Amino acid sequence: MMEEDFYATIKFKSGEEIFALVGYSEEEDRTFLLLESPIVIERIKNRGGVQGFRVEPWLKTSKEDLFVINIDDVLTLTESHDLETIAMHETFSQQYDKFNTEKKLNRKMGYISTIKEAKKSLEELYNNS
């Protein structure tokens, strides 16, 4: 069973707090959250006292934008209708998608090798020059 997606702030039992577009799925006796482009929002102040926000991806080493989380790992979840936070999420998601549209490596881009092979090749070039 699947309901309509909604924006929410999620606090995990680990203490992490994220904001994401959330859907959920109930399968047998378990409930899973489907998190689309989860972000971490941190309130910051500069030296002049001006407040702002820093927005970062929840998982910095992943290129994925959809995550499946077991509801048992969640301490609390609250639906958000805050237009400012939703706008930050949408803007960040669009910019992050554009930034992470890396092309896969292929032979047309240049020579693909291991580090050992590249090192050996460069040493040979250097020694022969």
Return the sign of the alpha-carbon dihedral for residues 101, 90, 17, 53: positive
What CATH number does the domain containing 21 carry? 2.30.30.100
Instruction: Answer whether residue 17 is part of any domain.
Output: yes
* Domain around 120: 6-127
Instruction: Answer whether residue 33 is part of any domain.
Output: yes
- Is the full-model pTM beyond 0.75? no
The β-bridge relationship of strands 51-57 and 66-70 is: unpaired
Instruction: Answer whether residue 110 is part of any domain.
Output: yes
Q: Tell me what pLDDT residue 1 has.
A: 41
Given a cut of 70, the residues of the chain with pLDDT beneath it are 1-3, 97-114, 118
Q: Where are the beta strands (DSSP E) in the chain?
A: 6-12, 17-27, 30-45, 51-57, 66-70, 74-79
Instruction: Answer whether residue 116 is part of any domain.
Output: yes
Instruction: Answer whether residue 74 is part of any domain.
Output: yes
Q: Tell me what pLDDT residue 107 has.
A: 52
Q: Tell me what pLDDT residue 114 has.
A: 65
**Count of structural domains within the chain:** 1
Q: Tell me what pLDDT residue 49 has.
A: 81
